[in-house]
Structure 1
Amino acid sequence: MNYAIVKSIIGRVLHFEAAFMMLPCVTAVIYKEESGWSFFFTALVCVLLGSLLTRKAPKNSVFYVKEGFVSVALSWIVLSIMGSIPFLVGGVITNPIDALFETVSGFTTTGASILTDVEILPKCMLMWRSFTHWIGGMGVLVFLLSFMHAHGSGSHMNLMKAESPGPSVSKLKPTVQSTAKVLYMIYIFLTFLEIILLLLGGMPLFDTLTTSFGTAGTGGFGIKNDSLGGYSPYIQVVVTVFMILFGINFSAFFLILCKKFTQAFRMEEVRCYLGIILATTVFITFNIRNLYGSFGEALRHAAFQVGSIITTTGYATTDFNTWPEVSRTILVLLMFVGACAGSTGGGIKVSRFVILIKTIKKELHTLLHPRSVRKLKMDGHTLEHEVVRATNVFLIAYVLVFAFSVFLIGFDNFDMITNFTAVASTLNNIGPGLELVGPTQNFSIFSNGAKLVLTFDMLAGRLELFPMLLLFVRDTWKRY
């Protein structure tokens, strides 16, 4: 392990976090809130610690996959710990584990909360909660890659692979640094476009910013106790559209920018993703139509919740915990499917399910025709064996982590649906589950031990499991 480079990266992340905290500081000044000083204090601590970690340039430029994964995992842990300090210092949350849970939920774009009444929070705290979604949506290390110089061959790609969601990571431009810049340009443009459309709908500026940050990062922290239920149908429709857009693989947007429209719309994952949304929305609409005043209202709520769950955003316009069992079941299944690879969404990812289905079809064909040779293809390209192997290993690790987490939080003696959907919502970075953790409830019911398990699940889910799991492997920490 090259500890010097890992320390250097963590130090740079702390410097960026200090800069990010200026937004809630400005918010506190605008609204004349005393609790804003907690962000200024924390920013100073971040600058100090970051300077201590980066004061010496690494002598050894060796930077392998191991350094990439460990740097990302530790950076997210440190980012979350420091990000939780304003909640504690400002007196908004008194329990350190609760503060950590809330912050991790923000950065991992989960949206699960331990707060029972968010409307009493100062504006600067609400801004920070939502802004953590935007920071974590594309990835803080991806943002860092836009500015930092490489530490040896392949260092940028090793960092991007560790933080970017999906079974494989490819460059949109000749260098990883330029790819990171393109990703953030698309991210910022879509965020800005949503802000404009929400303002045109009469939404207040503060509400617009926090809602757009949550939508862009597919996070889900609301600034109202009823999430987005109290806003106009126009606002809800705009948010629905942008949740779905941010769940699409950003490579498709890049292809559209390059005027390669045919290639963009031929992406199998994107077509499957949109097909799933369309099919489940239609089914749920007909299933819940009697619960609402009109078919149009039922369609709006169905489309919103399908978009919110499959993209793992977690916003709500209605209490879907009261929907018929088949509709609730569909939403739980969508929790696992998730959005596209290369998007800001969580979950297992549509691409992995596409690869899995193709693998099953190939295996069935081989059983019928043992001598045949059949290659797996996606978007017209042959799938490398390494991608298929990695997908299978990921699913095995996912099932094991999921099962063990359900077992551990079971000691709190809540019902199975609550425990199962609590783990599903945190490991898939969604937010609300069912029953005691439904859209009108929160996660404050769990013990500190269970919250730590769910906090780990949020981090593991956002970082695709392996960066977090590697921290528990002894060989990871061996020096070169």
Structure 2
Amino acid sequence: MLVVNAAFMLVCLAMAVHNHDGGEIPLLTGALITGLVGIFPVVFVPSDTRISNHEGYAIVVFSWLAVCFFGMIPYILWGGEFDFSAAWFEAVSGYTTTGATILDNVEALPKSLLLWRAFTHWIGGLGVVVFVLVIIPSLGRAQMTLTRFEVSAIARQDFHYRTGVLLRVMALTYLGISGLIIGLLWLVGLPTFDSVAVGFSTVATGGFAVTNLSIASYNNRWAELVIIGGMTLASIHFGLIYSLISGHAKSFFRSPIVRFFLLFSLGATLLIAIDLSSHYASWLHGLRHAAFQVMSVLSTTGFATTETTDWPTLALLVIFVTCIIGGCSGSTAGGIKMDRLVIALAAVRATILRQQHPKAVIPVQIGRIRIEPATINAVLIYIFLYIMVVLASAIVLAFEGNGLRTSVIASASCMSNVGAAFGALGSFQSYSEMSVLARLVLSLVMLLGRLEIFGLLLIFFKSSWQK
């Protein structure tokens, strides 16, 4: 994984050398350190594709921690607004596709470092381990073990493929959406560099922009439509997207999760647009911003076309709820996930019906699929832990002197890997005023959200290290 990251740093180094933009030394040093550390075990440690579950879990967790640690080297060496905690925060935010930044002036960075930020999104969107598994397909059983830890169980439910095919489906879909978004953004008038960087952030549902005012800088309605479409695709299960483009559209349109996702996004957009009817000059103007912000937050991308801090209370409440829910499993989106919400609602409905008909056998079903009790329990436990993590981190932020609104919103936004919030952390604001402790806590929260809690929590249990 480190060798792959070093290769992407070299690509950014080539841009720095070509543009003479000042990013040469940070990127060259970062690539050398990252590459040497990555190559060392390849040369001196005997290879073995037989790994245990404990080893597979350790590889996934420490791969994420390692890429974040080495990925921040170019930021530290560049200096500017980056001290150690800021560089760590920026790197974690990039790889977890959160998109929160400590930079008050993004445009002060050279293009080579802006490209590196975009690359961290692109790598993290597919998954740092999955990214390597696609490149190195001949890992035998190790590939299956690592995939099981990297791709969540709820995401694998809709993947009716063997491990190798699953990875190819994910990679082809990811690359296809990436190329489509970049090409369309260039066609509608965005500069080439901006099209690539914004395209990477869109498909990864990350949100790192190359301008201080995010997407609002372009004032380009066609670009906004392309990004809305890209965020929508990136928020839907990649297996279903692959089915759609490979001629099996029935699987896509029959999915109750996809239908619920699209209906939810449409309902949230109309509700906010109605609430904004007196906020903007015209209803269509409000609809434009509502549609973009709903999909930006629901996909957990975090792009912005307007400052939402002064929006009416109802609109902000809908945005906050949307932030927590997130996209579908098997996509690059974060949040609790639409699948879990649908399963939880189905379980509530079944429980109510059992109260009305105590002797009836009422299974929990989504469409034609019967949900097993173990899956329901896992979903409810995850939602509970999700809320607990948000509350715990909010308490720490409040202890640091942040207000209630800022503490809760920042915690929920980082846990859902959205990044952008409102209030003191509005659409065009940064996390630069956060203390070192707050940055470290929110970095941990971002990792918990990206690894879906259980992956990272296992490291704190003694049984995880015992065979």
Instruction: Answer yes or no: is 1:181 the counterpart of 2:138.
Output: no
TM-score scaled by length of structure 1? 0.93
Q: Secondary structure at the match of 2:277?
A: helix
* TM-superposition CA deviations, 1:384-437 (whole Å, max 9, x none): 222212112211221221221111111221111100000011000001112111
Aligned to 2:103: 115
Q: Mind listing any 5+ residue stretches in structure 2 that lack a counterpart?
A: none
Cα separation, 1, equivalents of 2:158 and 2:420: 34
Instruction: Answer yes or no: is 1:324 the counterpart of 2:312.
Output: yes
Aligned to 2:50: 61
Cα separation, 2, equivalents of 1:152 and 1:209: 34
Cα separation, 2, equivalents of 1:291 and 1:470: 47
Q: CA deviation at 1:29?
A: 2.2
Cα separation, 2, equivalents of 1:285 and 1:175: 44
Q: CA deviation at 1:171?
A: 7.5
Q: CA deviation at 1:172?
A: 4.2
Of the three residues 244, 258, 265, the one matched with 2:232 is 244
Cα separation, 1, equivalents of 2:440 and 2:263: 36
Instruction: Answer yes or no: is 1:353 the counterpart of 2:353.
Output: no
Q: Which runs of structure 2 are paired with 1:326-341 in the superposition (5 Å)?
A: 326-341=314-329
Q: Which runs of structure 2 are paired with 1:76-475 in the superposition (5 Å)?
A: 76-148=64-136, 153=141, 155-165=142-152, 167-170=154-157, 172=159, 174-231=161-218, 232-475=220-463
Q: Secondary structure at the match of 2:39?
A: helix
Aligned to 1:4: none
Aligned to 1:25: 13
Q: CA deviation at 1:235?
A: 1.1
Report the residue type matching 2:380 in the other structure.
N
Cα separation, 2, equivalents of 1:200 and 1:168: 33
Contact 1:228 1:315 in 2 (8 A): yes
CA 166–212 in structure 1, closer or farther in 2 if over 3 Å, else same: farther
Report the residue type matching 1:35 in the other structure.
G
Contact 1:165 1:462 in 2 (8 A): no
Moved more, 158-167 or 278-287: 158-167
Cα separation, 2, equivalents of 1:133 and 1:175: 27
Contact 2:276 2:283 in 1 (8 A): no
Aligned to 1:6: none
Q: CA deviation at 1:475?
A: 2.0
Query: Over aligned residues, Cα RMSD in angstroms?
Result: 1.7
Report the residue type matching 2:19 in the other structure.
Y
Contact 1:69 1:467 in 2 (8 A): yes
Report the residue type matching 1:243 in the other structure.
M
Aligned to 1:72: 60
Moved more, 116-125 or 293-302: 293-302
* TM-superposition CA deviations, 1:167-205 (whole Å, max 9, x none): 241474643122212211111111111111111111100
Cα separation, 2, equivalents of 1:286 and 1:442: 29
Contact 1:247 1:339 in 2 (8 A): yes
Report the residue type matching 2:62 in the other structure.
L
Q: Secondary structure at the match of 2:214?
A: coil
Q: CA deviation at 1:165?
A: 5.0
* TM-superposition CA deviations, 1:6-37 (whole Å, max 9, x none): xxxxxxx1111111212211221231123223
Cα separation, 1, equivalents of 2:464 and 2:68: 22
Cα separation, 1, equivalents of 2:281 and 2:426: 23
Q: CA deviation at 1:106?
A: 0.6
Report the residue type matching 2:462 in the other structure.
R
Contact 2:169 2:239 in 1 (8 A): no
Cα separation, 2, equivalents of 1:456 and 1:316: 25
Report the residue type matching 1:196 in the other structure.
G
Cα separation, 2, equivalents of 1:22 and 1:14: 12
Q: Secondary structure at the match of 2:14?
A: helix
Aligned to 1:9: none
Q: Secondary structure at the match of 1:229?
A: helix
Contact 2:22 2:110 in 1 (8 A): no
Cα separation, 2, equivalents of 1:358 and 1:263: 21
Q: Secondary structure at the match of 2:70?
A: helix
Q: Secondary structure at the match of 2:419?
A: coil
Cα separation, 2, equivalents of 1:149 and 1:209: 27
Contact 1:347 1:428 in 2 (8 A): yes
Cα separation, 2, equivalents of 1:140 and 1:225: 27
Contact 1:284 1:302 in 2 (8 A): yes
Runs of 4+ more than 6 Å apart: none
Cα separation, 2, equivalents of 1:368 and 1:462: 39
Moved more, 135-144 or 24-33: 24-33
Aligned to 1:3: none
Cα separation, 1, equivalents of 2:462 and 2:34: 29
Q: Secondary structure at the match of 1:289?
A: coil
Report the residue type matching 1:219 in the other structure.
G
Contact 1:118 1:224 in 2 (8 A): yes
Cα separation, 2, equivalents of 1:440 and 1:382: 44
CA 94–211 in structure 1, closer or farther in 2 if over 3 Å, else same: closer
